[in-house]
């Protein structure tokens, strides 16, 4: 189908596609148009990666805008939201306004009301619905990217309930669901009352196989020699072979440690394949990476990148991951060793994908478990980019002939498992039942069940006893919510959220987290910072740090030494599981306390065995939960509000109490705040009236930084022309790393 033959889209869109080199639609895209995607018809598109799913979404959204409507694009990750916002921003030159929403869960996003296309995570959309964002009523088209994630126990129920609510709000809503790997796409289409495009077509060939011995054994029965040299690992041999054909490689492993060690080894393979210009650009990137944080992770990643390799995992800071992804897309970085999180939709195609580790540790199983076919196929789908690669190739690694046969059967020849709703799990139900009642979608048990009948769970299990199970979970959850004062009524009576229940829903808290926080605050008149950090760390909304060997003894001693600071009673050591959870929360709280006490980031990373991404994740979560605790304390008229606010501000900025005001100035942060404080500038007001030479001296002579900081503080004359730094204001400690740019830009400086 020629792009000019597509009806319903804006007149300029065909010329835009031609400018992008697209003259005609791919077969799955043409099938989507024939199924009515530009006429407002709902659609499930289950088509391989690189087969044009995003263009199908654009056709749906732009045709909705052309009809005078508004479109929403739902993604699973913040990083993907930013990527899609940038991708869609090109439409703004044609008068289509684009906005992105990923942040504050209490924000109603009113500023998005005049946007034509909005990009948001499923959690953000859920919170917007809860908080009554008025523009949600005006949606005409919703795109759900990576819809197979309804199968994920953590995030799946949110996407499922959110789509059900959006369809309830807007009965004529067009829903376009996209995925590369849905084993039961027909079930999803039935749930969404949608047409189905289920295709295996790809613009370039994806060859799947298993490397064993000295050859690749493909799924079609053919073989190709790929020799492993003496002393060489199979992964390195594959990377070397790919580089010889000017290709890049993604290597998926099962842990952060393995990602880092693999990248370091593979750097030995890539470094000899770089030309002079690449080495220079990679050296510049390495310095940029070192500037992200003053941790060993930054240093190790920079060392790998200088040699053309990289690792990618959740312990890396978001800036680390963004820099690596961009350089890999440019084929400047030749190989990334990554955990499976990189397969979750971020655009990082490569010539070859190697699934090195097809098992990972499962706490539930108590050992190593095989990955699902769906997960492996998601990884494999990263191989091959149209217009850049002549083909894509995805390989697993076998150590024996039996394993070769097993991997071919298990992954190469297998179809992805069907996605299954995880909505009936109690943790999901707590959150979503309260929100459903609080936001007015249901005012009785019967109305709740009627609403839940519109979910994927009901579609899948209506005929197999699932309805009875759903009713049991609903009743158990309502009892819990009523017992904790979040809802009133139940049974056949009118069901409504209490004021407290409305607050919990608006704050986007798991009701169990709210109950834990309330119990802790009511038990403690004057909580300390550690007590508050520990309180939020033991909620279900905070992922606690893992207790390593020897930690039990250390944190048991700390628990008894600081028992008086806890919000609530220390459990008995004989309650083994509860006591261990308490200690894990204490370890997390101690990390937050260190951060708020200005301990250097690299020391925190080493002490707690975490990366800069972990630190930032825990800090952001603690700030959110303490903000929620502050709201709950205000709702309950507790005296602890000022203490909670101070603890929140300290963890937000990573500073002691005396620096809170100063660190809140844009561009200051924890290290610069301390330098300014030691130079006699103790508050924002002081900074506004400060002697510029003192400020410049405290900021180590950095004129642009000093100007920006003074301007943010409201100084009347922030310009630094002719200002000489006051030597007496310069920090005494030797911070040569800061001078060369490595230490200044750690995450606390922003």
Beta strands per DSSP E along 47-109? 70-75, 98-101
Distances in Å between the alpha carbon of 336 and those of 42, 251, 253, 298, 321? 37, 6, 10, 15, 11
Q: Is there a contact between 138 and 101 (Cβ–Cβ < 8 Å)?
A: no
Report pLDDT for 462. 77
**DSSP β-bridge partners for residue 99:** 118
- Measured between alpha carbons, how far is 206 from 412 in angstroms, rounded to an integer? 11
Which residues lie closer than 8 Å to 358 by C-beta, 6 or more apart?
A: 370, 371, 376, 396, 407, 410, 411
Task: Give the pLDDT confidence score for residue 729 in this predicted structure.
Answer: 86
Q: Closest Cα to residue 345, out of 25, 128, 50, 32?
A: 50
pLDDT of amino acid 246 = 92
Q: Which of 66, 130, 143 is nearest to 104 (CA)?
A: 130
Q: How far apart are CA 485 and CA 77, in angstroms?
A: 33
What sign for the dihedral angle of Cα 318, 321, 324, 329? Answer: negative
pLDDT per 10-residue tile (average), the chain, 750 residues: 92 93 94 97 93 94 97 90 90 95 74 93 93 92 95 93 96 95 92 96 94 96 96 96 95 94 97 95 95 89 97 91 92 94 72 95 82 93 86 96 97 95 90 95 92 93 74 92 91 86 95 97 94 97 90 95 95 93 97 96 93 93 97 95 97 95 91 93 94 92 91 92 89 48 37
The predicted pLDDT at position 658 comes to 95
Helix (H, G, I), strand (E, B) or coil at 671: helix
Rounded Cα distance, 184 and 415, in Å:
10
Q: 700: Cβ–Cβ under 8 A, 6 or more apart, which residues?
A: 675, 725, 730, 731, 735, 738, 739
Distance of CA 524 to the CA centre of its chain: 34
Q: Which of 604, 617, 610, 560 is nearest to 583 (CA)?
A: 560
What pLDDT is recorded for position 106? 66
- The CA-CA-CA angle for residues 492, 496, 500, to 5°, reads 145
Of all residues in the chain, what percent are helix, strand and coil, respectively (each to 5)?
A: 50, 10, 35
Among 186, 182, 205, 206, smallest CA distance to 53 is for 182
CA distance 139 to 37: 16
* Angle, helix 122-130 to helix 426-438, in steps of 10 degrees: 40
Q: pLDDT value at position 733? A: 57
Is-contact 310 298, C-beta < 8 A?
no
Q: Containing H/E element for 188?
A: helix 185-191
Burial of 366 (0-12, 13-18, 19+ CB in 10 A): exposed
Distance CA 354, CA 217 (A): 14
Distances (CA, A) of 479 to 24, 433, 488, 491, 522: 57, 11, 10, 10, 22
Residues 298 and 453: their CA atoms lie apart, in Å, by: 49
Q: DSSP E strands: which ranges in 7-145?
A: 43-46, 70-75, 98-101, 117-121, 139-144
Which domains, ranges and CATH numbers included, belong to the chain?
Answer: 3-198 (3.40.50.300), 206-412 (3.40.50.300), 426-506 (1.10.10.10), 511-653 (1.10.3380.30), 659-749 (no CATH)
Name the phi and psi angles at 427, rounded to 5: -55, -40
Instruction: Identify the pLDDT of residue 738.
Output: 38
Its pTM surpasses 0.85 = yes
Please provide the size of the chain in residues. 750
Q: What is the CA radius of gyration of the chain?
A: 27
Residues 6+ apart with CB under 8 A from 515: 484
Distant-in-sequence, close-in-space partners of 677: CB < 8 Å, separation ≥ 6: 658, 659, 662
Tell me the three state secondary structure of residue 697. Answer: helix
Task: Choose among 747, 744, 552, 565: nearest CA to 647.
Answer: 565
How far apart (Å, rounded) are the C-alpha atoms in residues 141 and 41?
Answer: 9
d(CA 382, CA 393): 9
**Secondary structure of 485-553 in HEC code, one letter for each residue:** CCEECCCCCCCEECHHHHHHHHCCCCHHHHHHHHHHHHCCCCCCHHHHHHHHHCCCCCCCCCCCCCHHH
Terminal-residue alpha carbon distance, the chain: 50
H or E segment to which residue 212 belongs: strand 206-212
Angle (CA) 250-379-229 rounded to 5° is 40
């Amino acid at each position: 189908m020629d792009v000019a033959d597509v009806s319903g889209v804006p007149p300029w869109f065909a010329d835009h596609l031609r400018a992008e080199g697209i003259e005609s639609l791919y077969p799955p895209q043409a099938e989507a148009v024939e199924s009515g995607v530009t006429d407002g018809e709902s659609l499930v598109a289950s088509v391989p990666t690189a087969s044009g799913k995003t263009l199908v979404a654009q056709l749906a959204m732009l045709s909705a805008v052309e009809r005078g409507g508004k479109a929403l694009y739902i993604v699973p990750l913040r990083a993907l939201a930013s990527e899609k916002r940038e991708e869609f921003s090109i439409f703004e030159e044609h008068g289509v306004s684009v906005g992105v929403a990923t942040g504050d869960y209490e924000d109603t996003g009113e500023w998005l009301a005049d946007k034509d296309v909005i990009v948001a995570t499923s959690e953000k959309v859920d919170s917007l619905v809860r908080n009554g964002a008025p523009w949600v009523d005006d949606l005409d088209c919703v795109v759900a990217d990576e819809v197979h994630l309804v199968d994920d126990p953590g995030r799946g129920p949110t996407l499922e309930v959110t789509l059900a609510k959006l369809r309830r709000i807007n009965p004529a809503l067009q829903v376009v669901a996209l995925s590369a790997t849905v084993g039961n796409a027909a079930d999803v289409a039935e749930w969404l009352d949608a047409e189905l495009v289920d295709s295996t077509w790809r613009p370039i060939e994806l060859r799947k196989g298993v490397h064993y011995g000295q050859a690749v054994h493909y799924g079609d029965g053919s073989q190709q020699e790929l020799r492993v040299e003496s002393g060489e690992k199979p992964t390195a041999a594959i990377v070397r072979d790919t580089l010889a054909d000017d290709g890049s490689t993604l290597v998926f492993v099962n842990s952060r440690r393995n990602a880092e060690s693999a990248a370091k080894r593979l750097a030995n393979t890539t470094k000899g394949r770089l030309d002079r210009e690449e080495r220079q650009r990679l050296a510049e990137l390495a310095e940029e990476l070192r500037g992200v944080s003053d941790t060993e992770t930054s240093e190790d990643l920079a060392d790998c990148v200088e040699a053309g390799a990289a690792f990618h995992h959740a312990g890396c800071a978001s800036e680390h991951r963004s820099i690596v992804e961009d350089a890999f897309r440019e084929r400047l970085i030749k190989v990334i060793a990554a955990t499976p999180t990189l397969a979750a939709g971020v655009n990082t195609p490569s010539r070859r994908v190697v699934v090195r580790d097809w098992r990972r540790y499962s706490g539930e199983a108590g050992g190593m478990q095989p990955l699902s076919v769906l997960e492996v196929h998601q990884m494999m789908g990263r191989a091959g980019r149209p217009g850049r690669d002549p083909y894509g190739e995805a390989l697993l690694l076998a150590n024996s002939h039996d394993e070769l046969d097993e991997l071919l059967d298990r992954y190469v020849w297998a179809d992805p498992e069907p996605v299954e709703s995880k909505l009936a799990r109690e943790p999901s139900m707590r959150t979503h039942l309260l929100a459903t009642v609080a936001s007015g979608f249901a005012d009785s048990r019967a109305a709740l069940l009627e609403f839940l009948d519109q979910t994927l769970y009901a579609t899948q299990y209506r005929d197999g006893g699932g309805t009875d199970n759903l009713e049991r979970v609903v009743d158990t959850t309502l009892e819990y919510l009523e017992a904790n004062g979040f809802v009133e009524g139940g049974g056949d009576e009118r069901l409504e959220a209490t004021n407290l229940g409305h607050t919990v829903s608006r704050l986007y808290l798991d009701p169990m987290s709210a109950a834990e926080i309330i119990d802790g605050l009511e038990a403690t008149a004057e909580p300390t910072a550690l007590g508050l950090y520990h309180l939020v760390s033991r909620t279900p909304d905070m992922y606690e740090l893992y207790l390593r060997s020897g930690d039990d003894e250390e944190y048991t001693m700390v628990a008894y030494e600081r028992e008086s600071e806890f919000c609530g009673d220390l459990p008995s050591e004989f309650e083994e599981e509860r006591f261990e959870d308490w200690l894990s929360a204490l370890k997390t709280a101690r990390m937050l306390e260190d951060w708020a006490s200005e301990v250097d980031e690299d020391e925190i990373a080493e002490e707690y065995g975490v990366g800069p991404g972990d630190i930032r994740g825990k800090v952001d979560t603690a700030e959110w939960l303490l903000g929620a605790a502050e709201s709950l304390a205000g709702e309950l008229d507790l005296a602890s509000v000022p203490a909670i606010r101070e603890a929140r501000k300290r963890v937000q900025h990573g500073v002691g109490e005396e620096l809170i005001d100063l660190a809140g100035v844009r561009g200051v942060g924890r290290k610069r705040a301390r330098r300014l404080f030691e130079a006699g500038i103790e508050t924002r007001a002081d900074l506004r009236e400060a002697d510029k030479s003192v400020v410049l001296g405290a900021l180590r002579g950095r004129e642009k930084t000093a100007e920006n900081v003074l301007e943010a503080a409201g100084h009347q004359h922030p310009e630094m022309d002719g200002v000489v730094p006051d030597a007496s204001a310069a920090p005494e400690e030797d911070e040569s790393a800061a001078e060369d740019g490595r230490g200044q830009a750690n995450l606390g400086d922003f």
